[in-house]
Amino acid sequence: MILRSKVKDLLEMEAGREVLAKGWVRTKRPSKEVAFIALNDGSTIKNIQIVLDRNEENAPLLAAISTGACIAVRGQLVESVGSGQKVEIKASEIELYGACDPVRYPLQKKDTSFEYLRTVAHIRPRTNTFGAVLRLRSQMAFAIHEYFHSRGFVYLNTPLITASDAEGAGQMFQVTTLDLANVPRNKKGQPDYSKDFFGRQTSLTVSGQLEGELGATALGEIYTFGPTFRAENSNTPRHLAEFWMIEPEMAFYDIKDNMDLAEDFIKSLVRYALDNCREDITFLNDRYDNTLIERLEGVVNTEFVRLAYGEGIKILKAAVEAGHKFEYPVDWGTDLQSEHERYLVEEHFGKPVILTDYPKDIKAFYMKQNEDGKTVRAMDILFPKIGEIIGGSEREADLAKLEGRIDELGMSRRNLEWYIDTRRFGSCPHSGFGLGFERLLLFITGMQNIRDVIPFPRTPKNAEF
């Protein structure tokens, strides 16, 4: 019995052996005496060519094989006479696992736009582009674990269901088993969450950071890597309601150590992609954006700019004075819009920028306050074409200052007592950041829309598949 070989491996083998391949038909092209079938099994962007004799015996089978059909092919691996491939399979036996109705098959040549493919997201992994993107996604997840594992970071699993709003931005999806048609109410007429599943109001997490800090203040250096959820009504090419985030948190790191790690981390990931995913990246580069590889190499080989928010605002205001038009106004104290971030990165500096020391009022409660009383030790990494790819900070380690900030923002201390305990019992300087996995993938694949780098995107009014 011969075992199945993957297409990726078959393409590397020497000709002259009996092989078994299984996969989905990409194209079928009859010629005079033989038919050529391009077969793909997802192991590589490349197809293996199958050559089948066009005789009477094979005719019904050949008629039943169309694009999208699933087949098993037994045959001889031979040197290919045609150009484009070293070897091909001279088929001796083909088994049709599943035919594919050529009329109803959603992947037709006539519409291959990304917008259309999102409506058939259950089938789009079968296209070259999404095969490449999804293989890259998997490779990068592995690279992330390897990066931290090799540096002694502990992989910490933080909860998805939570009773606290880690970012304090009120963008949470509620989790409840209460009967929405008949909500139990307390004396004030509000929903009585003591009757809910967890006996309190709960939501899907927006970040694992708070629990990450608990881990870091015991294990030293940890990272999380999991799904996070934001009920922000942002219909942009860079926002998802469900996205994956990597959040390292490190005891004894100050803001500079934090920036150094973040810069090294992201460069290592891009280098990993260039070194290990060359075929898929080359495909995306050649097909959609022939500056992709150049951009990736540029990031690996450049030192990121480090700039205080206040300095960034000065540059942006100077640009406005010189006649540059932004949709949103810029002034000290306002949050930067993606057009501002991209101006700094793409037009002013021409490389990634780490922006630090943001006004405290536009950042979360847990960030370490600077001596000026106005800014916090925040750091956002801004990338070409993406804008913010990483957000992080040194954390407020001082109990009184942290409590003061929570009160100032009108947040409930009671819900956060467990978190505040880290500052009561052996508080330490510490820092961390969050990398949006899909934003990283946007950069690495050169795709334009975040919906196209996650298999099944969740966005406002869209939760199909």
165 contributes a contact to ligand 4AD by CB under 6 A: no
Quickly count: other Cβ atoms within 10 Å of residue 360's Cβ.
22
Strands 48-53 and 87-98: parallel
From candidates 28, 135, 230, 451, binder to ligand 4AD by CB under 6 A: 230
Q: Retrieve residue 451's tokens.
A: 């919906």
Question: Can you tell me the distance from the alpha carbon of 21 to that of 4, in angstroms, rounded to the nearest whole number?
Answer: 5
- Minimal distance, residue 319 CB to ligand 4AD, in Å: 23
Please tell me whether residue 432 binds ligand 4AD under the rule CB under 6 A: yes
Q: Which does 398 bind (CB under 5 to 8 A by kind): Mg ion, ligand 4AD, none?
A: none
Contacts 24+ apart (CB under 8 A), 404-410: 405/360, 405/365, 405/366, 405/369, 406/365, 409/168, 409/365
436 interface partner picked from ligand 4AD, Mg ion, none, CB below 5 to 8 A per type:
ligand 4AD
Least distance from C-beta 360 to ligand 4AD, angstroms?
A: 15
Q: Determine, following the binding rule CB under 6 A, whether residue 239 of this chain makes contact with ligand 4AD.
A: yes
Q: CA-CA-CA-CA torsion for 255, 259, 265, 267, nearest 10 degrees?
A: 180
Nearer to ligand 4AD, 148 or 243 (CB): 243
Separation CA 391–CA 288 (nearest Å): 29
Neighbouring C-alpha atoms within 13 Å toward the C-beta of 431: 21
Per CB under 6 A, 309 contacts ligand 4AD: no
Closest distance of CB 167 from Mg ion, Å: 8
- Using CB under 6 A as the binding rule, whether residue 89 contacts ligand 4AD is answered as no
Binding status of residue 384 toward ligand 4AD by CB under 6 A = no
Interaction site with Mg ion (CB under 5 A): 391
Q: Smallest gap, in angstroms, from Cβ of residue 146 to Mg ion?
A: 26
Give yes or no for residue 37 binding ligand 4AD (CB under 6 A): no
- Min dist. Cβ of residue 453 to ligand 4AD (A): 10
Q: 22: part of which helix (H) or strand (E)?
A: strand 18-30
Q: Is 429 exposed, middle or buried (0-12, 13-18, 19+ CB in 10 A)?
A: middle
* Alpha-carbon distances, residue 98 vs 68, 70, 104, 277, 446 (angstroms): 9, 5, 14, 31, 34
Which among ligand 4AD, Mg ion, none contacts residue 390 (Cβ within 5 to 8 A by kind)? Answer: ligand 4AD
> Tokens 């095969």 — which residue?
131
Amino acid at 246: I
Backbone φ, ψ for residue 349 (5° rounding): -100, -30
Q: Which stretch binds ligand 4AD (CB under 6 A): 12-20, 270-278, 385-393, 420-428?
A: 385-393
Q: Can residue 434 be called a binding residue for ligand 4AD (CB under 6 A)? A: yes
Q: Which is nearer to Mg ion, 5 or 209 (CB)?
A: 209
Residue 134 CA to residue 284 CA, distance in Å, equals 12
- Could you give the string, one character per residue 196-225, with x where binding to ligand 4AD holds by CB under 6 A and - elsewhere? -----------x-x----------------
Nearer to ligand 4AD, 267 or 317 (CB): 267
Which residue number, 131 or 391, has a Cβ lying nearer to Mg ion?
391
Exactly one of 165, 247, 263, 396 binds ligand 4AD (CB under 6 A); that residue is 247
Under the binding rule (CB under 6 A), the answer on residue 388 touching ligand 4AD is yes
Choose among ligand 4AD, Mg ion, none what residue 446 binds, the Cβ cut-off being 5 to 8 Å by kind: none
**SS in 3 state form for 54-111?**
CCCCCHHHHHHCCCCCEEEEEEEEEECCCCCCCEEEEEEEEEEEECCCCCCCCCCCCC
Report whether 50 contacts 88 (CB < 8 A): yes
Return residues touching ligand 4AD (CB under 6 A): 166-167, 207, 209, 230, 232, 239-240, 243, 245, 247, 388-392, 432-434, 436, 438-439
